[in-house]
A and B are shown apart, each in its own frame.
Chain A
Amino acid sequence: MKNIEKANEHSRVDDIIEQTGKNIKNGRYPLAITNNPELYRLELRRIFGRAWVYLGHVSEFEEPGDYARRYIGEDPFILTRDENGELHAFLDSCMHRGAQFCTAENGNTSHFRCPYHGWTYKNDGTLQGMPHMKEAYQDLDDEEITLEEACLETYQGLIFGRIAEEGPSLEAYLGDFTWYLDVLFGATEAGMTVVGEPHRWESSHDWKTSADNFSGDSYHVLTTHQAGLETENLSKGPWEELDDFPGASYLACTDRHSMGYYLSEDDETFMGYPEEIADYLNPTLSAEQRDLFGRSVFHFGTVFPNMSLIHGIQSGGWGGPWACIRKWNPRGPGTTETTSWWLVPKEFADDESFLSDSHRGWESLSPGGAFESDDLTIWEGISDSSGAVTHELRNTRGNMQQGMGAMTDEVDTIEDPLHGPAEVTSKGLYFDERNSRTILQSWYEMMSDGIEMEGEP
């Protein structure tokens, strides 16, 4: 009986996955994909077990021994730089009985010692030794005992890890999105640096909701953030240039990832950075990348599955330019622990007045911020109601139809090298939901790949 129930459950989630795949093109997706416990267990294996997942930025791991606890799906890894300068990500699980040996968020250490029986590892993952090694382990092949390690690759200082041993290279996985990451994380010669410690908070929303929102949803700003936008007596900065609102908005989608952005007509805008930024530009940028950065006001996007990014200046005077990397850590069905790192170009990292202004920008999109505090209330509600049995029994469909077919005559496809290799539309942020369809397509492809696989829960 139990096996029959399990088989039914399996076919029900496979059916939701299939229904999602079939209906992305008509913009009517099953609302039951959000906060669904059975799908969640599959997401951990099929998506987080196989995708490149953002783990950290190289500036956090400059010295040998620098380490931080980071997650792939729900699995705890320790990202560290060994004594030879190599980066590693080890599963926080001792090879003796599986005990955790790292309880701090970050720090610096040359060794990890398990608190259970004292097995000790060097920070390159090899076994250093254990109590009574000579007496108790005379026949042990100690070279065979190394910590379980994720695959690691970096791009523009962004460190990604993957559990699966086989798969595409990071650059292949990022695809054309690398062009935009060059602009957002490699615009200046010295590169970006993380400042201080990240914001972290847990909320009852599905990781997919925030990944979708950051992929290019500005349509919500008009309603969700009305209170944050209607502030008085604060300077507006480069946003004043955006008279042609929402015409100045663009949506760039690659095969897997998506980004929305606002451009000014002034090609020395540089997101409102101090004017010295023009002297710091990275010579490796192409002319188009340099021009795009010059006209940039605000960028936000999602690297599937659970990394999002912001780089730019907030509207309404809520602070100066900043960059932010988000990680939507899944913490059970309908629950997410968000980590939000603040980054600035290294060239400005010691400029106190710049940092103070930039901190305010970063803070505006945080749990204490004038903008995001409102998002979170709404995202929790999505999770709460999306778990409804009604959605499952009635096969309720959500709507992602903006920009499809004859829905609008406002959205134009842009064929201009300034906008890079992705498929780009103007006014996309208000009238085109290609971003959501792109992220959902990535979800579908990973969730449906190997759908007949045996032995899964």
Chain B
Amino acid sequence: MSSLPVSEEAPVDVETQHSVEQFLYREAELLDGFALEEWLTLLDEDILLEVPIRVARHPGSERPEFSENTNYLKEDYEMIRERVGRLEKEYAWSENPRSRIRHVIGNVIVIETTESELTVANNQHVFRSYGDTADHDLLSAQRHTVLRRGDDAGEFSIGHRTVYLDHTILNTKNLTLPLL
């Protein structure tokens, strides 16, 4: 049972659906490849990136499954930019050596549209392995992303993103930007 609000699917034409998916796939390529400076250019300066804490609840609990006031990350553009700069440093040990990261993105659904914006939900499995080991971590999540239309058809920027994790206890040692 998902605790996320069940969204009415906003019908979009095939071309829009295609361009939204292509945008998310290309963005994932940048994250997987640690091309974070280029990834930053996709973000609007008023962006908010949120990763709320999830809590194991009894069905029917009156308390929210996703915390309303605590997050793993709640970052504005300035903080995201600082984080990107931090990861570029050789002694950012969390990603030195770089994790081997692969996003698999699916179930892309446009859940809301306005003239200038699309709200898009996507599911994702993010594979991560690190260092000299056969081990890997698998992070599962649903993202809700507000995409703003650019001047050209099929061009978007990211105005807001919430990452709803499927974990109440993180199963990976740290949560760096490319994993989201």
Binding site for B on A (CB under 8 A): 103-107, 195-204, 223-224, 226-228, 230-234, 337, 342, 355, 359-360, 363, 366-368, 370, 372-374, 376-378, 380
Partner of B94, one of A107, A197, A359, A376: A376
Residues on the B chain within 8 Å of A227, using CB: 86-87, 89, 91-93
Contact, CB under 8 Å: B56 / A104: yes
Contact (A105, B72) CB under 8 Å given A224-B93, A368-B175: no
Residues of chain A lying within 8 A (CB to CB) of residue B174: 201, 367-368, 372-374, 376-377
Residue from the list B70, B89, B175 in contact with A373, Cβ < 8 A:
B175
**B82 adjacent to A231 (CB under 8 Å):** yes
Query: How far does the Cβ of B1 sit from chain A's closest Cβ, in whole Å?
Result: 14
9 tightest Cβ-Cβ pairs between the two chains A and B: A196-B70, A201-B170, A373-B174, A373-B94, A227-B92, A368-B175, A196-B69, A376-B173, A227-B89
Contacts of B56 in A (CB 8 A): 103-105
Chain A residues within 8 Å of B53, by CB: 196-200
Complex interface: chain A residues within 8 A of B170 (CB)? 199-202, 367
State how many angstroms separate the Cβ of A71 from the closest Cβ of chain B.
Answer: 12
Q: In the complex, what distance in Å separates the CA atom of A337 from the CA atom of B93?
A: 21
Q: What are 28 contact pairs spanning A and B, CB under 8 A?
A: A103-B58, A105-B57, A105-B168, A106-B63, A196-B70, A197-B67, A197-B70, A199-B70, A201-B174, A202-B171, A203-B173, A204-B173, A232-B82, A233-B78, A359-B74, A363-B73, A367-B72, A367-B170, A367-B173, A367-B174, A368-B73, A368-B176, A373-B174, A374-B91, A374-B94, A374-B174, A377-B94, A377-B130
B115 at the interface (CB under 8 A from A): no
CB-based contact A370/B69 at 8 Å:
no
Q: Is the CB of B94 within 8 A of A199?
A: no
Does B152 make an interface contact (CB < 8 A)? no
Digitize B67-86: 1 where CB-to-A-CB distance is under 8 Å, 0 elsewhere.
Answer: 11111111000110011011
The answer to whether A107 and B175 have CB atoms under 8 Å apart is no
B116 within 8 A of partner (CB):
no
B71: which of A363, A377, A378 is its contact (CB, 8 Å)?
A363
Q: Determine if B82 and A196 form an interchain contact, defined as CB atoms under 8 angstroms apart.
A: no
Contact of B58 among A104, A197, A234 (CB under 8 A): A104
Interface membership of B2, Cβ < 8 A: no
Interchain CB contact (< 8 A) of B85 among A198, A224, A226, A232: A232
Q: How far is the CB of A114 from chain B (nearest CB, A)?
A: 14
B175 to chain A, nearest CB (A): 4
Distance in angstroms between the alpha carbons of A233 and B77 in the assembled complex: 13
Min Cβ gap A358→B in Å is 11
Q: What residues of A have a CB within 8 angstroms of the CB of B74 in the complex?
A: 359-360, 363
Q: Report B's interface with A, CB cutoff 8 A.
A: 51, 53, 55-58, 61, 63, 67-74, 78-79, 82-83, 85-87, 89, 91-94, 130, 168-176
Interface pair B175/A367, CB less than 8 Å apart: yes
Check A373/B57 contact, CB under 8 A, given A199-B72, A227-B91, A232-B85.
no
> What residues on A are CB-neighbors of B68 within 8 Å?
196
A-B CB contacts (within 8 Å), total count:
119
A226-B89, A337-B169 given; 11 more Cβ-contact pairs under 8 Å: A105-B56, A107-B58, A107-B61, A196-B68, A199-B72, A201-B171, A231-B85, A359-B74, A373-B174, A376-B174, A377-B174
A residues in contact with B67, CB < 8 Å: 196-197
| Contact (A231, B86) CB under 8 Å given A201-B173, A204-B173 | yes
Return chain A residues, CB-CB under 8 Å to B58: 103-104, 107
- Greatest chain A CB density within 10 A among B55, B78, B94 is at B94
* Assembled-state Cα–Cα distance A203/B73 (Å): 18
A367 to B174, CA, bound (A): 4
Alpha-carbon gap, A355 to B68, bound state (A):
13
Distance (whole angstroms) from the CB of A146 to the closest CB of chain B = 23
Question: Are A360 and B85 in contact, with the CB atoms below 8 A?
Answer: no
Across-interface contacts of A226 in B (CB, < 8 A): 89, 91
Residues of chain B within 8 A (CB-CB) of A360 are 74, 79
B50 vs chain A, min Cβ distance (A): 11
A374–B71 touching, CB < 8 Å: no
Cα distance, A226 to B79, chains bound together (Å): 17
In angstroms, how far is the closest chain A Cβ from the Cβ of B46? 15
Q: How many Å from the CB of A31 to the closest CB on chain B?
A: 20
A104 to B86, Cβ gap below 8 A? no
Chain A neighbourhood of B86, CB < 8 A? 227-228, 231, 370
How far is it, in angstroms, between the C-alpha of A168 and the C-alpha of B63 when the chains are bound? 38
List B contacts of A197 (CB < 8 A): 53, 55, 67, 70
Contact (Cβ within 8 A) A380 B173: yes
Question: Hey, which chain A residues are within 8 Å of B91, CB to CB?
Answer: 223, 226-227, 374
Please tell me if the beta carbons of B82 and A374 are within 8 angstroms of each other in the complex: no
CA distance A83 to B42 in the complex (A): 54
Best-surrounded residue of B56, B63, B74, B174 (most CB of chain A within 10 A):
B174
Known contacts A105-B57, A370-B83: does B173 contact A195 (CB below 8 Å)? no
A223 CA / B92 CA spacing, docked (Å): 10
Bound CA–CA A226/B67 (angstroms): 32
Could you say which residues of chain A place their CB within 8 Å of the CB of B176?
Answer: 368, 373
Contacts of B87 in A (CB 8 A): 227
In angstroms, Cα B168 to Cα A337, docked, is: 11
